[in-house]
Structure 1
Amino acid sequence: MTDYKKLIDAETWAFIERTNSYYPPDAIDYTIDQQRDIYDRMCREFSAGRPDNVTAETTAIATSHPIPIRIYRTPAPEAAAMVLYFHGGGFILGGLDSHDDLCAELCSRTGYEVVSVDYRLAPEHLHPAGFDDAISAFEWAATSYKRPILLCGDSAGGNLAAAVSHATRGHARRPIGQVLIYPGLGGDRSQGSYVTHAEAPMLTVRDLDFYTNIRTGGEDRTGDLTLSPLADADFANLPPTVLITAQCDPLSSDGEAYRDRVVAAEGYAYWFEEPGLVHSYLRARHTVGRARSSFTRIVDAVSALGRGEWIW
């Protein structure tokens, strides 16, 4: 039995308790509409607002169905790269507003233009709808920007970013890098953190099963690379990858496994497991020292990869 009282510090516990006061641990037993309502309210309560030097423009990518996006910019000179950001939320929650302050801060601290993508959510739109939107967003970025494209995402968004990286290896404008923050990549649930942290605060294996089942409509899609990037047999020619995971999170082993496969294929990958942190800790980056340090690590990774630098 994992002793979370020893692993997790007082600041992080306060964040967990505050989160649970808005979004209870049994939220997956609520209706989807109820889950979205309380998640959106929680995100508003945690929002730090946008830095003064950032402007945001909400628009849409014109496809067969418009894909809403929000573009964040600073007055800085022409940035070295643009960041395509995919938000977390278990493929059923979140949107442009849930991650607005996060994307604005990423823009402010890197100086890069950040484009947040409002991909379609389950259960109204089953897999591969969200992945299809992520690919469409990449194609739009490749057409619209001359600058290199960097992929970034947290949780479900990390899954989408990785899936796009695998799918665009042959693209003339393939991504310059990817930063994956506590992503779910379809790892082996019989070992590692899936066992050690099956009952972790903030995210459990039961939660993961629920999100996967909702995303696929209950269909068995074992081996689908667009659903589970770790199912890919070929890890060659992927963009330089930085994976940041939380120690107290069933998904943490996915970061380790993904790094190992990229490195085995002679690619560049770095994995860092944040001690004592939990899933979704990005919302704690202004109140928890460990989360603040991790966000700086993420900002530095985005900055370096956007410049084409490998510093690990």
Structure 2
Amino acid sequence: MSKYSQLKDPGIVAFLEEGERLYPENAVSFSMAEQREFYNKYCAHFSGRWPKDVATRDFTVGAVPCRRYMPRAPRGQLLYLHGGGYVVGGLESHNSICADLADQAQVDVIAVEYRLAPEHKFPAAFDDCWAVFESIVGSGGPCVIAGDSAGGNLAAGIAIKARDLGIQKIKGQVLIYPGLGGDVTKGSYITQANAPGLTTKDVLYYHDTYGSDGSKLAEPLRETDFSGLPRAFLVACAHDPLHDDAVHYAAKLQAAGVAAELREEPDLVHAYLRARFMSRPAAESFRAIVAAIRAFAA
């Protein structure tokens, strides 16, 4: 019997099996340099064909490297913050994802290569993302903000800080299987502790490496006032210890009167964005994310 027998979608199973050959299950036990090499090869392997009508331009905000993805007729702009547990990833790791978002949602996408832990602990990554956000809204007007996993955490934190400072230029936030500082002794952190692709042990490792200070900007579920935050679209995967973070965050936003849509993915796992060319449910979910971005940008 396959160790992925609990998964119904053959595309996701194939994605996980291919990924194992590039990114070992015990990757967090390797050196940081090795983890980053594993991750870069893994991401490159699952990159798709480049959309023909998307151009790119690299630039910096202060010392922060960024990349802009430009479709022919953009109808808004998106700040995209990459996942990778705050320790891996950058402009190249999410290059294909950002290009497809720009092409399909018809928005300019600005990606950020924020500083990584453990060399740069919290709030370094957050500060880099905030600097780019300030630059975008200061020079180009409103934007949608989005991110996957750790990037979803950073996006939620940016939205909170912007609200607190009275900056009303976020048209919507798209949080894709985000880690938001949920209680690791309950719920999906227990039931999905050994989920394929990400375990609770992995989450704890990334959390400790990041050096969260327990504040609401590092762990947005610690916020006590969710009113006035930007409308939101959140994705929760059933086979993911972070599942409940998205569910609980959506509920808190809704209770505070914020329009928040939660998309449950019963057949998907953490990091499924990279399986969008292999898995029907992953492709459908990616289309829903694109639709949410288009709607917010409009």
Please classify the TM superposition score into its range, dividing by the shorter chain length.
over 0.9
Q: State, as a whole percentage, how many aligned pairs show the same letter.
A: 41
Match of 1:285 among 276, 290, 298: 276
Kindly indicate whether the alpha-carbon contact (under 8 Å) linking 2:159 and 2:230 is maintained by their aligned counterparts in 1. yes
The question of 1:80 aligning with 2:75 is answered: yes
- 1:88-107 matches, cutoff 5 A: 88-107=83-102
Q: How far does residue 171 in structure 1 lie from its aligned partner after superposition?
A: 3.3
Tell me the equivalent position of 1:274: 265
TM-score by length of 1: 0.92
Match of 1:207 among 196, 202, 206: 202
CA distance in 1, matches of 2:97, 2:9: 23
Match of 2:144 among 147, 150, 163: 150
Q: Deviations over 1:137-164 (max 9, x none)?
A: 1100011203x21000000000000000
CA distance in 2, matches of 1:101, 1:112: 15
Kindly indicate whether the alpha-carbon contact (under 8 Å) linking 1:91 and 1:215 is maintained by their aligned counterparts in 2. yes
- 1:152-231 matches, cutoff 5 A: 152-169=146-163, 170-216=165-211, 221-222=213-214, 224-231=215-222
CA distance in 2, matches of 1:171, 1:263: 20
Q: How far does residue 49 in structure 1 lie from its aligned partner after superposition?
A: 3.7
CA distance in 1, matches of 2:34, 2:271: 19
Aligned residues: 295
Tell me the equivalent position of 1:131: 126
Instruction: Name the Cα RMSD after superposition.
Output: 1.2
- 1:61-72 matches, cutoff 5 A: 61-62=61-62, 66-72=63-69
CA distance in 2, matches of 1:21, 1:229: 34
Q: How far does residue 11 in structure 1 lie from its aligned partner after superposition?
A: 1.6
**Which runs of no fewer than 5 residues in structure 1 stay unpaired?**
308-312
Kindly indicate whether the alpha-carbon contact (under 8 Å) linking 2:4 and 2:13 is maintained by their aligned counterparts in 1. no
**Which runs of no fewer than 5 residues in structure 2 stay unpaired?**
none
Kindly indicate whether the alpha-carbon contact (under 8 Å) linking 2:173 and 2:231 is maintained by their aligned counterparts in 1. yes
- 1:4-15 matches, cutoff 5 A: 5-15=5-15
Q: Deviations over 1:67-126 (max 9, x none)?
A: 0000000121xx332100000000000000000010000000111100001111001101
- 1:10-21 matches, cutoff 5 A: 10-21=10-21
CA distance in 2, matches of 1:283, 1:21: 15
SS of the residue corresponding to residue 194 of structure 2 reads coil
CA distance in 2, matches of 1:173, 1:305: 14
Kindly indicate whether the alpha-carbon contact (under 8 Å) linking 2:172 and 2:231 is maintained by their aligned counterparts in 1. yes
Q: Deviations over 1:25-47 (max 9, x none)?
A: 10000000000011101111111
CA distance in 1, matches of 2:173, 2:184: 24
CA distance in 1, matches of 2:143, 2:174: 12
Tell me the equivalent position of 1:310: none
Q: How far does residue 134 in structure 1 lie from its aligned partner after superposition?
A: 1.1
Kindly indicate whether the alpha-carbon contact (under 8 Å) linking 1:165 and 1:174 is maintained by their aligned counterparts in 2. no
CA distance in 2, matches of 1:299, 1:74: 14
SS of the residue corresponding to residue 125 of structure 1 reads coil
CA distance in 2, matches of 1:132, 1:42: 27
Kindly indicate whether the alpha-carbon contact (under 8 Å) linking 1:71 and 1:116 is maintained by their aligned counterparts in 2. yes
TM-score by length of 2: 0.96
SS of the residue corresponding to residue 225 of structure 1 reads coil
One-letter amino acid matched to 2:282: A
The question of 1:58 aligning with 2:49 is answered: no
Q: How far does residue 181 in structure 1 lie from its aligned partner after superposition?
A: 0.3
Moved more, 83-92 or 3-12: 3-12
Match of 2:256 among 262, 265, 269: 265
One-letter amino acid matched to 1:42: Y
Q: How far does residue 174 in structure 1 lie from its aligned partner after superposition?
A: 3.0
Tell me the equivalent position of 2:242: 251
Moved more, 157-166 or 5-14: 5-14
